[in-house]
Amino acid sequence: MFESLAEKLQSVFKKLNSRGRLTEKDIDEAMREVRVALLEADVNFKVVRDFITEVKAQAVGSEVLESLSPAQQVIKIVNDNLVNLLGGNQAKLMVSSKPPTVLMLVGLQGSGKTTHAAKLANLLRKGGKRPLLVACDIYRPAAIEQLHVLGRSLDMPVFDMSTAKPSVIAKQALSVADSQGRDTVIIDTAGRLHIDEEMMQELKDIRNEIHPHEVLLVVDAMTGQDAVNVALSFQEQVGIDGIIMTKMDGDTRGGAALSIKAVTGKPIKFIGTGEKMDAIEPFFPDRLASRILGMGDVLTLIEKAQASYDEAEARRLEEKLRKNTLDLEDFLEQMQQMRKMGPLDQLLKMIPGMGDLKDVQVDERDIKRIEAIIYSMTTSERRHPEIINGSRRKRIAMGSGTRVQDVNRLLRDFENMRKMMKQMQKSPGKMNPAFGGVRGKSSRNPLNPFQRGRR
């Protein structure tokens, strides 16, 4: 979403870094370029004006101009102000001291309320909560059934009362949650194609009836400044406590995310990053600012790894690496664990310094090809690749829909990797930084999904 903005901002800072000391004229020129970049990213013009004014006021101070590395100081000022623009610190959910905690999701039709009600319930359950989903959208065709389908897919309870009044459904849900020992109630309300008085009154009725601890507005990041206007209307007429911004994995310009806190005064609390039920994350302003400025996001990368990797399995793999007994079953398992963390191109951008490598492309077809080849092997062949002779290679190639050359390349590079692991036990530090990257004559390594100059 922020790729274009990130490229432009990083280009501005590269120019500053190429200079020894900065004059006020240098900073003026840089801020003009930053202003244009933000406006082209569809950031609210008032927000841009205030942002540039604040950055410039700090950047032209004597502390900066007399600094030995003024460019780095300007980057720090921009980063700090960008973090403030996005909300400052992480805004966490309010948790009731007396369960259940009641979360009410509101928004326009099509913003993703129902899906993100289920996603949020799934995320909270991973944190030890016991959520109950409540279907209060009695108007949209199949809305109740959609929530039930999502609930079944997550093994999550869903409460509904068919066509009863939404405020009555919500109130009854609290009693059900209490009787079932559910400590969190997530209410999916109805939306409209546009804001109208009837919709707002219904939301007010529900709010007055159950007094939710959090009213979360679900908005679509792809709608740009319309999302900001929608948020402002809901804040003025119903009152909201936070925002769930969906489709943050899209290719729009991202201005809504940079504008919404400054305009509404309400923080983004969660972001939707994909279609799967686990594609929702708490929102960290400092991490997003780091990504935009090309400084990576190591903390999120670590958290994804911790969520995807089993600690006992990691210890087992470490022991096999130490003894140099890694086999193709282990390799396949680790590759699949990496894929659980998310698209590889997104993971790559979280590594500091890697976000601006334009010639590095991730081809998922290479990974699927490797998986197909390994799945076409017998258990014995996966554990003892050295037994795979010519006839076995032909059978594996036919079974995986690949060529014998692909099988040969995989086996050769896997053996090279094992040799390299063995050498690293004696002389650490010689490993290629890309996972599976093996030095050799092969110009295209099927173990390495990060290929340069791909067609």
Structural domain of 28 = 3-85
pLDDT confidence bin for 327, thresholds 50/70/90: confident
d(CA 438, CA 422): 13
The residue assigned the tokens 């400084």 is 295
Looking at the fold, whether 204 and 291 belong to one and the same domain comes out as yes
CATH of the domain at 167: 3.40.50.300
- Asked whether residue 122 carries a pLDDT value surpassing 60, the answer given is yes
pLDDT confidence bin for 404, thresholds 50/70/90: very high
Of 229, 260, 295, the last residue of a domain is 295
In 3-state terms the chain splits into helix, strand, coil percentages (rounded to 5) of: 55, 10, 35
Looking at the fold, whether 113 and 171 belong to one and the same domain comes out as yes
How large is the average pLDDT for residues 223-240?
Answer: 88
Question: What's the gap between Cα 36 and its chain centre?
Answer: 26
Looking at the fold, whether 341 and 429 belong to one and the same domain comes out as yes
Instruction: Read off the tokens for 116.
Output: 């993100």
Strand, helix or coil for residue 343: coil
- The angle at the Cα of 415, spanning 454 to 327, to the nearest 5 degrees, equals 105
Q: Each residue of 335-348: pLDDT tens digit?
A: 777 666 666 656 55
Looking at the fold, whether 342 and 289 belong to one and the same domain comes out as no
How large is the average pLDDT for residues 18-45?
Answer: 84
Pairwise pLDDT comparison (239 vs 294), residue with the higher score:
239
Q: pLDDT at position 24, please?
A: 82
Looking at the fold, whether 175 and 106 belong to one and the same domain comes out as yes
Q: How many domains does the chain have?
A: 3
Half-sphere exposure of 246 (CA within 13 A, CB side): 23
* Backbone phi and psi for residue 4, each to the nearest 5 degrees, phi listed first: -65, -45
Looking at the chain, how many residues does it have? 455
pLDDT confidence bin for 226, thresholds 50/70/90: confident
Q: pLDDT at position 313, please?
A: 62
Of 20, 53, 85, the last residue of a domain is 85
Q: pLDDT at position 79, please?
A: 86
Identify whether 231 is part of a domain: yes
- Asked whether residue 152 carries a pLDDT value surpassing 90, the answer given is yes
- Asked whether residue 30 carries a pLDDT value surpassing 60, the answer given is yes
Looking at the fold, whether 272 and 325 belong to one and the same domain comes out as no
CATH of the domain at 78: 1.20.120.140
pLDDT confidence bin for 180, thresholds 50/70/90: very high
CA dihedral (336, 341, 343, 344) positive or negative: negative
How large is the average pLDDT for residues 271-288?
Answer: 88
Looking at the fold, whether 155 and 22 belong to one and the same domain comes out as no
- Asked whether residue 322 carries a pLDDT value surpassing 60, the answer given is yes
Instruction: Read off the tokens for 276.
Output: 């799967």
How large is the average pLDDT for residues 64-73?
Answer: 62
Identify whether 95 is part of a domain: no
Looking at the fold, whether 67 and 134 belong to one and the same domain comes out as no
pLDDT confidence bin for 418, thresholds 50/70/90: confident
Identify whether 93 is part of a domain: no
Poorest-confidence range of 149-158, 282-291, 321-330, 356-365? 356-365
Q: pLDDT at position 365, please?
A: 77
Q: pLDDT at position 408, please?
A: 93
pLDDT confidence bin for 317, thresholds 50/70/90: low
pLDDT confidence bin for 429, thresholds 50/70/90: very low
**Cβ-count burial of 339 within 10 angstroms (0-12 exposed, 13-18 middle, 19+ buried)?**
middle
CATH of the domain at 318: 1.10.260.30
How large is the average pLDDT for residues 274-301?
Answer: 76
Poorest-confidence range of 92-96, 320-324, 410-414? 320-324
How large is the average pLDDT for residues 308-318?
Answer: 63
Looking at the fold, whether 153 and 38 belong to one and the same domain comes out as no
Identify whether 162 is part of a domain: yes
Strand ranges for 138-257 from DSSP E: 158-159, 184-189, 214-220, 242-246
pLDDT confidence bin for 424, thresholds 50/70/90: low
Identify whether 147 is part of a domain: yes
Q: Each residue of 77-108: pLDDT tens digit?
A: 888 898 899 888 888 999 888 989 999 999 99
Identify whether 96 is part of a domain: no
Looking at the fold, whether 173 and 270 belong to one and the same domain comes out as yes
pLDDT confidence bin for 405, thresholds 50/70/90: very high
CA dihedral (36, 42, 45, 48) positive or negative: negative
Share of the chain above pLDDT 70, in %: 77
- Asked whether residue 167 carries a pLDDT value surpassing 80, the answer given is yes
Identify whether 196 is part of a domain: yes
Of 295, 317, 338, the last residue of a domain is 295
Q: pLDDT at position 377, please?
A: 93
Annotate 403-439 with DSSP letters as a single string: -HHHHHHHHHHHHHHHHHHHHHHHSTT-S-SSTT---
Looking at the fold, whether 129 and 8 belong to one and the same domain comes out as no
Poorest-confidence range of 118-122, 140-144, 439-443? 439-443
Q: pLDDT at position 258, please?
A: 87
pLDDT confidence bin for 287, thresholds 50/70/90: confident
CA nearest 156: which of 189, 136, 185? 185
Looking at the fold, whether 264 and 412 belong to one and the same domain comes out as no
Q: pLDDT at position 448, please?
A: 44
Pairwise pLDDT comparison (390 vs 433), residue with the higher score:
390
Identify whether 303 is part of a domain: no
Q: What is the dihedral of CA 111, 191, 281, 368, to 10 degrees?
A: -50
